[in-house]
Amino acid sequence: MLLVNLGKPQQLYPLSLLNSLPPPSIPKISTFSLPFFFLNPPSSSPQKKPLSLSSTSPPPCLKTTPLTPCATSPGTSVEHLVGKPETETETDNDVGVDSNEIELHNFDIEWDKNGGEMRKLDMQFESPVVEVTELEELPENWRRSKIAWLCKELPCQKRPTQIRLLAAQKKWMRQPDATYIAHHFLRIRLNDAAFSVYKWMIQQHWFRFDFALATKLADCIGRERKFAKCREIYDDIINQGRVPSESSFHILIVAYLSAPGEDCLKEACEIYYRMIHLGAYRPRLSLHNALFRALISKPASSAKPYLKQAEFIFHNLATCGLEIREEIYSGLLWLHSHQDIIDKERIFYLLKEMNLRKIPETKDTLLSILRACSKVGEVDEAEKTWLKLLHCDGGISPQAYMYKMGVYAEVGDPQKSLDIFREMQEQCGQINNVAYQKIIEIMCNSQEVQLAESLMKEFVGSGLKSLTASYVDLLNMYYKLSLHDKVEFTFLECLDKCRPNRAIYGIYLDSLVKTSNIEKAESIFNQMLENEAIGVSSRSCNSLLSGYLGCGDNAKAEKLYRFMRQKKYEVESSLMEKLEYLFTSTKFFFEKYVALKLTPEQREILVGLLLGGLQIEYAGEKKLHFVHFMFKDDSGIHTILKRHIYNEFHEWLQHSNGSTDDSDDIPSEYSTVPHTCFGFYAHQFWAEGKQSIPKLIHRWLTPRVLAYWFMYGGYTTPNGDILLKVRGSKDDVERVFKALKSKSLEFRIKRKGKVFWLGFMGSHTTSFWRLIEPYLLNDLQDFLKAHEQPSENITAEKSSI
């Protein structure tokens, strides 16, 4: 029996002792990894040898191909393989992440005590012992030969072939044999092959869970940043009722932090929470800092929900007696200052702690304090902070002026805010649009009509863009003051100066209903309904419904009510009472429930989005599936498209009510309710969980389908060429090829990995554009032609088509 000692078994401490334990020592060795070592050639006389774990080279995060043979063991036919790292980093493509989009970062670092520079922190974890039987100990010569042959053959094959080869050995292979093969692959750094063997092992009837092997496999795969596979093994350990080792927690968190995406950060926070409360571990300082830095590196709007996680990290740093750096305090103050409800006591406590630790207040810290003061109206504290900012290098930023304006606006002194704005103009010279929007908002909230109008004229005359927000503030002020003539004049001016949004149309609609101009209000409502970028909402429907009921037009009120029921818009309680009385007197059948059914347009839109990569997932119940809409935040097309899709599928969406309907802030991801009607599309486009193309696609490729395919999964290049992305097999793409050819469309196909690109080049772009143009969103047509820039991958792909 060959014992591979990976260190002492991990000691688990009760939660009550967590805060009383001393911080663990951190030896300075290779980067937070369990060292790798190669399989020693067995000697002629078999004997047990503990393998050394010392390693001078860091663990590989690179793909180990191609393989070169080394010395062959005299007792076996196994060729020991040494991997040569490639230049490109391997990423986890099992979760649909494009390898070109992932930028790996090393989070195994902490803030240096001197100078604030970053330094790498090497560490080693204690792990359980893996027991492996050496080949010489096996009595059967044929078994040794077969195991040696598998060790040599499996790395050369792809995953499906590896499973078939292992399945062919089911009659004789047992757990010690499979464990030896998996461990052999880990020693020669073929972690994917080891994972394949492990996944095959757990499906066998003789399998008994091996905690040590699972721990080592999870750690090795996690170091390659393959968080999906590492999470699978982690979940296996949890499901067995065991607590993963500290290394598994640490490496899995780092793997999640190294991947982009909001979901990965949430998973990292969840694993960090479990590491402390489930495992009773005390994470290393580098892990605390890395996770905290990932939280505050996001934009303010995205980082706001992570305040509790940041406070939890701060609490653990304090209770474990670890050093809390200046960046932790400033980051926590930054998060608090961006909250909607400011916790003044907590902010003052953090400032007091900084003073006790003699941590200087930086310019960013002072800006955070001033931002918080602007939300609660703390004039005295704001003035003290302002005096400190005057002594900072670089002068006072425009942000500080705007925060100070907000302080005095909060206490009801708009004239002082205006004086600060004029001082800002003198000191900073050119003023940006954000400053104009802020001062106009302050004047409108204070109902200073003349000052607001003069500032708006100054804003328009400056030639700056983004006038929409200020027009919304003006319209709200006029509507509250019942200045309906000015509401109409400002609305028409807004149509001429900028592109109005749903809020502007909604205020004007309310004004028309309030002045009993129902005919014009109905016209505005129809404009909103026809404009895909604006659409109607629950508020606009209720406003027009109140107008119909007020003027006694019961027929139109009934028609609008049916529309609201179909779209699942909530009817206001006051209007519902009038409707119930109306329906009772006219013997109208009151429908409590409306059956959901896809319209022909929705079916075509769904097919187009599915061709572009839309996902349909199983809901866990028989024949129930739901659609998960995902849009890119950095795409101008998707920013407009997600609003249109949200409106089009409003009745199908989960939690489709309230604030989101009247807000322009539509989430980038949302899902439909589970329904049986989506099962057909799941079977056609996502058979067995993989994206595919239906055999009857030639019947469904209408111009509307092509338009939505293009808007959701297509690209335009700077010279006007069009690229469409599609996933599937060669047979699937061949069906699409024949269907498009039948429409007299000429294009070229290029394959890269599992993705096929359909390129419409030169004059062929014109014929495709004429086909889909009637079905493109109005606000997107010019944008699609001129502004959408492809990514670097698309540019390189286009050049090779």
> Which tens digit of pLDDT belongs to each residue from 614-628?
888 887 777 788 898
Query: In the chain, what percentage of residues exceed pLDDT 90?
Result: 42
Report the distance separating Cα 297 and Cα 143, nearest Å.
55
100-109, 231-240, 347-356: the lowest-pLDDT one: 100-109
For residue 472, give Cα distances in angstroms to 435, 469, 507: 16, 5, 8
Report the distance separating Cα 322 and Cα 714, nearest Å.
50
* All residues at 6 or more sequence positions from 741 whose CB lies less than 8 Å from its CB, including other chains: none
**DSSP letter string, 245-281:** PHHHHHHHHHHHHTS-SHHHHHHHHHHHHHHHHTS--
3-state secondary structure (DSSP) of residue 23: coil
Identity of the amino acid at 186: L
Which neighbouring-strand residues pair with 110?
A: 119
Q: Which of 702, 727, 710 is nearest to 604 (CA)?
A: 702
pLDDT of res. 795: 36
User: Does residue 151 register a pLDDT over 50?
Assistant: yes
User: Does residue 780 register a pLDDT over 80?
Assistant: no
User: Does residue 523 register a pLDDT over 60?
Assistant: yes
pLDDT of res. 302: 85
Residues 731-754, mean pLDDT to the nearest whole number: 85
pLDDT of res. 417: 94
Residues 82-94, mean pLDDT to the nearest whole number: 36
User: Does residue 49 register a pLDDT over 70?
Assistant: no
pLDDT of res. 117: 37
**Which phi and psi (to 5°) does residue 630 adopt?**
-130, 130
Residues 32-39, mean pLDDT to the nearest whole number: 31
Residues 184-188, mean pLDDT to the nearest whole number: 91
Report the distance separating Cα 266 and Cα 118, nearest Å.
25
| Cβ-contact 572, 580 below 8 angstroms | no
Report the distance separating Cα 105 and Cα 99, nearest Å.
14
Instruction: Give the pLDDT band of residue 781 (cuts 50, 70, 90).
Output: low
pLDDT of res. 431: 85
pLDDT of res. 18: 31
**453-476 pLDDT per residue, tens:** 999 999 999 988 889 999 999 999
* All residues at 6 or more sequence positions from 609 whose CB lies less than 8 Å from its CB, including other chains: 629, 645, 708, 709, 712, 713
Whether the bond into 66 is cis, omega within 30 of 0: yes
Q: Which of 546, 552, 499, 491 is nearest to 524 (CA)?
A: 491
pLDDT of res. 783: 59
pLDDT of res. 591: 56
User: Does residue 206 register a pLDDT over 60?
Assistant: yes
User: Does residue 66 register a pLDDT over 80?
Assistant: no
For residue 769, give Cα distances in angstroms to 617, 763, 775, 781, 787: 32, 10, 10, 10, 16
pLDDT of res. 466: 86
Query: 512 — alpha (psi -120 to 50), left (phi > 0) or beta?
Result: alpha
Report the distance separating Cα 488 and Cα 497, nearest Å.
14
**543-577 pLDDT per residue, tens:** 999 999 999 888 898 889 888 888 888 888 888 88
Residues 631-653, mean pLDDT to the nearest whole number: 83
Higher local confidence (pLDDT), 560 or 718: 560
DSSP letter, residue 161: H
Burial of 463: CB neighbours in 10 Å, binned 0-12, 13-18, 19+: exposed
Report the distance separating Cα 490 and Cα 496, nearest Å.
10
**348-385 pLDDT per residue, tens:** 999 999 999 999 999 999 999 999 999 999 999 999 99
| Cβ-contact 549, 556 below 8 angstroms | no
Structure tokens at 379: 């004039």
Instruction: Give the pLDDT band of residue 332 (cuts 50, 70, 90).
Output: very high
**Most confident option among 55-64, 78-87, 433-442, 711-720:** 433-442
Residues 287-299, mean pLDDT to the nearest whole number: 92
pLDDT of res. 587: 52
User: Does residue 789 register a pLDDT over 80?
Assistant: no
Between vectors from CA 75 to CA 71 and to CA 77, what angle results, nearest 5°? 60
Residues 631-648, mean pLDDT to the nearest whole number: 83
